[in-house]
Amino acid sequence: MKSWIAGADSVETDFTIHNIPLGLFSRGSHDERPCPGTRLGDTVVDLSILAASGLLDKLVSAPTREALTTGADSLAPVADLPVLDRRQLRLALQSVFSQDKIPDGFPQNALVDVNAVQMLLPFRIGDYTDFCISVEHMKNAGRQVAGDARIPPQMPYMPIGYHGRASSVIVSGTPFKRPWGLYKLAPSDPEPVCAPTARLDYEVEMAFYVSSNTKLGRRLNSRESEEAIFGVVLMNDWSARDIQSYEMMPLGPFQGKNFATTVSPWVISPDALKPFEIPLPERLVPELAYLQDERVNRALDINLSVEVQTGNESQVIAGNINAKDFYWSMPQLLVHQTMSGCNVSTGDLIATGTCSGTTPNTLGSIVEVTEGGRKPWQLPSGKERTFIEDGDTVIMRGRCSKDGIHLGFGECSGLVLSADPI
């Protein structure tokens, strides 16, 4: 398919006609009315204006048009639509934008340059769950923490996760301040210090938004879980390694993780990602019955990269991380979370945990790249880094390409500001 939108056919863009992501934006500032939109090339399309124009009347259902024009400050009305209506909306938008020329009656004021919009979080996130489903990341982390590369014994039987906090999830491009916390300057120190973290790290992750409201006690099966995935984003789950290591026993991470989590603004639909599905990695043990479903338990062949910018310098630290290495599928994460009867809500965010491979170009965190800070990496000028410093911007990207179809996620970026004095 081709598009009449300028730049949407470029091999350089993430936002081709094969993508059709959804996002929430305002025109210039957070104070203006949020609008549901999609993006092709460098053009953002205001879907509320398009739906009101009548061009979609014969292409999508009345509830879909109402969801787009309701004026809500989140994508929840769209996410709450039945999965068939959401699929119909994507196909309708592809039809409108893949014609030979701009359709008659198309509202020109629905088209906005991407540089003239302010991207917003697409949902008021009620709950956030973070899993850890990369075997190699577990091995690498084990080497750094305990000198032992064995994975936890329960990992092959179930996805390992914990419930985090949603209050400090921020959209790409939002700066944040270096966090304070308690940690020991040296393991042998008798007491901790209270200071800004000296070991700020990123984590290359993916995440998805839920599009289902379930009642307490109801379990989702594999097929229901697949349909309850609204869409996928990139995530940087920032970590303060020194604070995290001091506080995490016996209850797990707290202030070492709760200060910021950055997500990319454009939500990529499961249908757009279908061409890039591949079999999951070989099972280490037979899957338990509640996690078995070959129809939906599929990995995604998505190449991920991370770049650090500081001043006028930039360097790609890891350029060949791949989501196909995740041991569990996204539907399996939702199946497992609801197995206990845990209820979920539209807009809940569920993350994969750090994605890592076995080589330096496939490591998803600085603590792995530098072996716990013992082996610095160099910027082009020769400056060395062991962890992320004030003024650094970390940019993550994700891209898929197969049989002439390509799409991507855009940037997931965050700038680190200096800590406030106490």
Same fold, 23-120 and 128-417: no
Give me the mean pLDDT over the 59-88 stretch.
97
- Three-state DSSP class for 309? strand
Asked if residue 236 lies in contact with residue 396, where contact means CB atoms within 8 angstroms, the answer is yes
Q: Is 264 exposed, middle or buried (0-12, 13-18, 19+ CB in 10 A)?
A: buried
Whole-number CA gyration radius for the chain: 22
State the sign of the Cα–Cα–Cα–Cα dihedral 297, 333, 220, 212.
negative
Q: Summarize pLDDT for 392-418 with one digit per residue, the tens.
A: 999 999 999 999 899 999 999 999 999
357-396 pLDDT, tens per residue? Answer: 999 899 999 999 999 999 999 899 998 989 999 999 999 9
- Say yes or no to pLDDT of 30 above 60: no
pLDDT at 29: 59
CB 147 within 8 A of CB 355: no
Options 137, 163, 336, 406, the catalytic residue? 137
* Sheet of 111-113, strand order: 111-113, 43-46, 35-40, 23-26, 118-120
Cα(19)–Cα(269) distance, integer angstroms:
8
Does the pLDDT of residue 277 top 90, yes or no?
Answer: yes
Contacts for 154 with CB less than 8 Å, ≥ 6 apart: 160
Q: 128-417 has which fold?
A: Fumarylacetoacetate hydrolase; domain 2 (3.90.850)
DSSP SS3 for 130: strand
pLDDT at 31: 59
18 catalytic, yes or no? no
Residue 98: C-alpha distances to residues 16, 17, 18, 77, 95 (Å): 10, 7, 10, 26, 5
225-268, pLDDT tens digit by residue? 999 999 999 999 999 999 999 998 888 889 999 999 999 999 99
- 163-179, pLDDT tens digit by residue? 999 999 999 999 999 99
The residue-averaged pLDDT of 306-324 equals 95
Q: Residues of the chain with pLDDT > 90: what percent?
A: 89
- Greatest Cα pair distance, the chain, in angstroms, is 74
* Per-domain residue ranges of the chain: 23-120, 128-417
CA gap 206, 204 in Å, rounded: 7
**CA-CA distance, 349 to 156, in Å (whole number)?**
23
**CA distances for 9 relative to 6, 16, 55, 406, angstroms:** 8, 6, 23, 10
Beta-bridged to residue 39, according to DSSP, are: 44
Query: Cα(46)–Cα(39) distance, rounded to whole angstroms?
Result: 9
SS3 385: strand
User: Where does the pLDDT of residue 99 fall: very low under 50, low under 70, confident under 90, or very high at 90 and above?
Assistant: confident
Mean pLDDT within 145-162: 88
Q: Which fold has domain 23-120?
A: SH3 type barrels. (2.30.30)
